[in-house]
Amino acid sequence: MTDHNHRRNPNGVDNQFDPGWLEDDPLDDGFPGGLLHETGLPLDELLDRLVRDAELPSTQEMASLSDLSRAHAEKVRSQWPLIPLSHRRALLSQLIEAAVDDLNWQLGRLLRIALDDEDATLRRLAIEGLWEDGEADLIGAYIQILRIDPSEEVRAAAAGALGPFMLAGELDELDASLAMRTEEALLAVLHNDHEPLSVRRRALESIAYSGEVGVRQLIEDGYYSAYEEMRVSALIAIHHSADIRWRNFARAELQSPSAEMRAQAALACGALEATAAREDLIELLGDEEQNVRLAAIVALGQIGGKDAQMALEMMRESEDPDEVDAADLALEELMFFAGIQSDPLYDDALAEADEEDVDPWDDRFDIDDRDLGSYE
């Protein structure tokens, strides 16, 4: 990362974001936006209308904000503060929604400009819109936001956005120094009791991708927290950890009186392929809360088995279209992995895995589900 340019926001707090992407830009290899641009207003005309008109242009008319060149990005940056706040919020929301449905929309440069907006809602929207952007230039910006942004919700969003980079580091897909920097920033939040709960929650969810031994204790601390919000995040962290030693913990929470806990526990059981939880998950298909039923459907698709397949086929007859769609996807996943597992090479791989050394920490989790108690 290059040296930060310092900017003073209205609250008197230094926001330091790296404009280095304008110099050696990883976004130059993005999708071409020519087809979109042909249907949109010329950039100068669009910016003039955004600044002066009371009515926001249509989404298609704003196509010139997609896949900005470096020169155009600088032009937008210079005009951005002149656009009324209501327009900035509306256009960013509309374009992010458009990008979800159409990959031709490339908003990386626009959203990086919005990261430096004086409005907290826009900074949060920018982070959320950049969720699938894996370019490493964002790490420095997110860490800086996490450290000094005056908005709790923006800092929480930044903590969550560091999760994919934490995972990339664990998979050796990110420079080791950047992965370490990401982990250190998240640990600093988790070890600071004065940090707001919302920020610490997201930091826990993100750092859970790390395989470092100390992270296990952080997850356990969250699991036993007095705050349900943190316990929910601990289950999300268990999901992210991909560590089968948490299976019993996740399974125990399938009986939680909290719908959010049941839903996250179901997703964790699925991610960890907790086959012992299969019957419990089938029971959750009749849960009174839709989000719990949907989570159970996803989990059964990941865990597989004949009972799971039969239950999912029954869910395809649901009157809820969301449940039908989820069941279809879950059955596709179940059948795909059933095909892989029937391959003799898969059996050989499992045999090799069984011969690996066992972590002494496993003994701590070699317990029966009954030891975790139950909800009455």
Q: pTM of the prediction?
A: 0.82
**Which pLDDT belongs to residue 221?**
98
| 125 and 180 fall within a common domain | no
**Angle subtended by helix axes 197-207 and 152-161, to nearest 10:** 0
Domain end residue (candidates: 185, 220, 242)? 242
| 128 and 30 fall within a common domain | yes
In this prediction, the residues of the chain whose per-residue pLDDT falls under 50 are 1-26, 28-34, 346, 350, 353-373, 376
Place of tokens 């929480």: 156
**Angle subtended by helix axes 228-241 and 259-271, to nearest 10:** 10
**Which pLDDT belongs to residue 173?**
97
**Which pLDDT belongs to residue 213?**
86
**Which pLDDT belongs to residue 258?**
98
Task: Give domain status of residue 117, yes or no.
Answer: yes
**Which pLDDT belongs to residue 354?**
47
**Which pLDDT belongs to residue 352?**
53
- 3-class SS at 136? coil
**Which pLDDT belongs to residue 343?**
52
**Which pLDDT belongs to residue 154?**
99
Residue pair 316/331 in contact (Cβ under 8 Å)? The answer is: yes
Residues forming a β-bridge with 102: none
pLDDT digits (tens, 9 = 90+) for 140-155: 999 999 999 999 999 9
What is the tally of structural domains in the chain?
2
Domain end residue (candidates: 213, 242, 271)? 242
| 97 and 179 fall within a common domain | no
| 199 and 125 fall within a common domain | no
**Which pLDDT belongs to residue 290?**
98
Task: Give domain status of residue 216, yes or no.
Answer: yes
Task: Give domain status of residue 344, yes or no.
Answer: no
**Which pLDDT belongs to residue 209?**
98
Domain that holds residue 53: 1-133
Task: Give domain status of residue 63, yes or no.
Answer: yes
**Which pLDDT belongs to residue 39?**
72
Task: Give domain status of residue 335, yes or no.
Answer: no
| 90 and 214 fall within a common domain | no
Integer CA distances (angstroms), 104 to 113, 247, 344, in order:
19, 40, 41
